[in-house]
Amino acid sequence: MMLAVVGYYEPWWIQILKAILIFAVGLQLVPVVLLAERKLLGRFQSRYGPNRVGPYGALQPLADILKLLTKEQFRPRTSIGFLFVLAPVISILTAVAAFAIIPFGNTQDIFGTKVGLYGIDVSIGPLYLFAFGGIAFYGIMLGGWSSGSKYSFLGAMRGAAQLISYEVSQGLALLGVIFTAQTLSLTGIVQAQSGMWYIVPQFFGFLIFLTASFAETNRAPFDLTEADAELVGGYNTEFGGGRFASYYFAEYLNVLVVSGIVTTVFLGGWLLPFGIHPPGFLDPFIVLFKMSLVTFLFIWVRATLPRLRYDQLMSFGWKVLLPLATLNALVTAILVVATH
Amino acid sequence: MPDSPKPTPSSPAPTTGLNLTSWSPGEDVIEVQRTPAPGAARGTWRTFAETVRGLATTFGRFRETPVTVQYPEEKTPVYPRFRGRHKLHRFEDTHLEKCVGCSLCAAACPADCIRVVAAENTPENRVSPGERYAAVYEINLSRCIFCGYCEIACPFDAITMGHDYELSDYDRSDLIFTKEMLLAEPLERTPLRNEGE
């Protein structure tokens, strides 16, 4: 088995090509997830979901996005114009930036040049993710606040509190993996799983990370920032047309990013179990397949669980998830020290 | 202030009306039975177990075939007594109209949507077996409430309620059905529910 090259950088022109390619692929994945979510939600509720536009409703996302992009760009008179325009851009930028670190495969020889099948292999992998996750708050916060609407503001405030609370647990849940792998590079973490995927030794870490990720991506049952029934739509109430589409796009791209991180960190990335070593060009498809499984789980949970009350959300985050994550990290640390 | 003594806590509350401060619910209040609040560990476990149970439930729905009726292609069958669009009838042997223009349907109509103008039958122009026939028979279906009173009022069973429920149109005036439209054999657009279905 070829070892993953950690911290490898290609010539600059390959990096630019890679950036364009990965962005294009990510861009195409979002409508697929959008459609998959609506179809699957339908099936979870014993109905078909969209099936009118195109074969099996396949053109539904295209129709939705075209509709949104051709709508008039309006904003409330009380809004703060500059921030109102900037906020969705921040959301989408951070989501795309976070997408860059997901490793889709090992370094491959393509026409005599070694190319890593990822945007960048930063030596601080998870920290990079949390850094951009931190900036992503501003997308929601500024969007809600600059709308000049109380519902948006409430949604944004809830969102801020929720994201801060759950990012702590999310980070601590990854700590166990980092201790075990003894590297922060995501390709290094995948490489360290060649014996056993971390979902087995780090099962609690996996559960905690997954739960915190539901909250981080503002998905059900933690979608209090949107809370359609209470807040009319939360932070994005006043957004319409292309700006709303940007928020929507960022939300689904975040789901993809988290699926990618779960795949990389807990499900062995591009590795297959039982010692099967497929040719290198299959790596991205293995990663995409695993990502789609995690995304299915996201949609499944959305179809199942009702939204939490706000105080339940907070007490769950701080009183249950955070102690469990801390305990998980502590036990892992002790075990790692004891076995070395 | 010596003139007005300060009200002490023991002084009774003013007894005007219901005394809410000393009101107690009494024995007739039923206490809600709840399971004991679980502790942290059991509560977490219970939440987890119930979540998994919920996921199993939705996955069961996922594996079933959807129950959706794909409306424009499939239609929900109606029962025989379903009250849809009206039909006017002719005698099968003589092909004369059953309607004799008596206007009882119009009189019975609570929505006032039927208009009948009667005319005399003549030996040269015999339209119905009776003395008169309906020269104009119009039902304004945008007003009709589909109560079926016209059907009950009709002494000759000339008007009945059909099974057609697809009655949308682009123009209000298109929803005024004339005698010819009501007499014409309707398009079989609505499936009838079978026995025992």
**Position A4 in a domain:** no
**Position A256 in a domain:** yes
Contact B129, B94 (CB under 8 A): yes
**Position A131 in a domain:** yes
Nearest to B55 among A45, A48, A300 (CB): A300
**Position A258 in a domain:** yes
pLDDT of amino acid A15? 79
What's the domain range around A259? 12-339
> How many angstroms separate the CA atoms of A101 and A287, rounded?
13
DSSP A269: T
Nearest residue of A to residue B42 by CA position? A320
Q: What is the pLDDT of chain B when averaged over all its residues?
A: 81
**Position A238 in a domain:** yes
Chain A residues with beta carbon closer than 8 angstroms to that of B62: 40, 43-44, 300
Structure tokens at A304: 């199942």
Query: Structural domain tally of chain A?
Result: 1
Reply yes or no on whether the pLDDT at B149 is more than 90.
yes
Between A and B, how many CB-CB pairs are < 8 A?
Answer: 38
- Residue entry with tokens 């979540």: B51
Nearest to B44 among A46, A304, A320 (CB): A320
The complex scores an ipTM of 0.72
User: Could you give all domains of chain B from N- to C-terminal order, each with its CATH number?
Assistant: 86-183 (3.30.70.3270)
Residues from A contacting B (CB-CB < 8 Å) are: 40, 42-48, 300-301, 303-305, 319-320, 324
Q: Compare B196 and A96 and report the one with higher pLDDT.
A: A96
Q: Which of A156, A162, A34 is nearest to A87 (CA)?
A: A156
Q: pLDDT digits over B48-85, tens only? A: 888 899 899 899 888 888 888 888 888 888 888 889 88
Q: pLDDT digits over B81-131, tens only? A: 889 889 899 898 888 889 998 999 999 999 999 999 999 988 888 888 888
Q: Which residues pair with B58 in a beta bridge?
A: none
Reply yes or no on whether the pLDDT at B2 is more than 60.
no
DSSP B29: S
CB–CB of A45 and B61 under 8 A? yes
Q: Chain A: nearest CA to B76, how far in angstroms?
A: 16
> How many angstroms separate the CA atoms of A137 and A147, rounded?
15
Reply yes or no on whether the pLDDT at B6 is more than 70.
no
- DSSP per-residue codes, A169-219: HHHHHHHHHHHHHT---HHHHHHHTSSS-TTTTTHHHHHHHHHHHHHHTT-
Question: Which of B55, B57, B62 is most worth mutating to test chain A (most A CB atoms within 10 A of its CB)?
Answer: B62
**Position A262 in a domain:** yes
Q: Compare A326 and B19 and report the one with higher pLDDT.
A: A326
pLDDT of amino acid A1? 40
Contact A142, A294 (CB under 8 A): no
Instruction: Give the C-alpha distances (Å, rounded to integers) separating A200 from A62, A81, A168, A196, B170.
Output: 40, 49, 22, 7, 63
Beta carbons within 8 Å of A247's beta carbon, 6+ residues apart: A88, A91, A92, A139, A143, A235, A236, A239
Contact A118, A104 (CB under 8 A): yes
pLDDT of amino acid A228? 66
CB–CB of B64 and A319 under 8 A? no
> How many angstroms separate the CA atoms of A208 and A284, rounded?
26
Q: Which of B186, B184, B95, B88 is nearest to B137 (CA)?
A: B88
CB–CB of B57 and A303 under 8 A? no
Percent of chain B with pLDDT over 70: 75
pLDDT of amino acid B15? 52
Nearest to B61 among A44, A48, A305 (CB): A44
User: Which positions of chain A have pLDDT values less than 50?
Assistant: 1-2
**Position A109 in a domain:** yes
Q: Is residue A78 classed as helix, strand or coil in its secondary structure?
A: coil
Helix (H) or strand (E) holding A97: helix A81-99
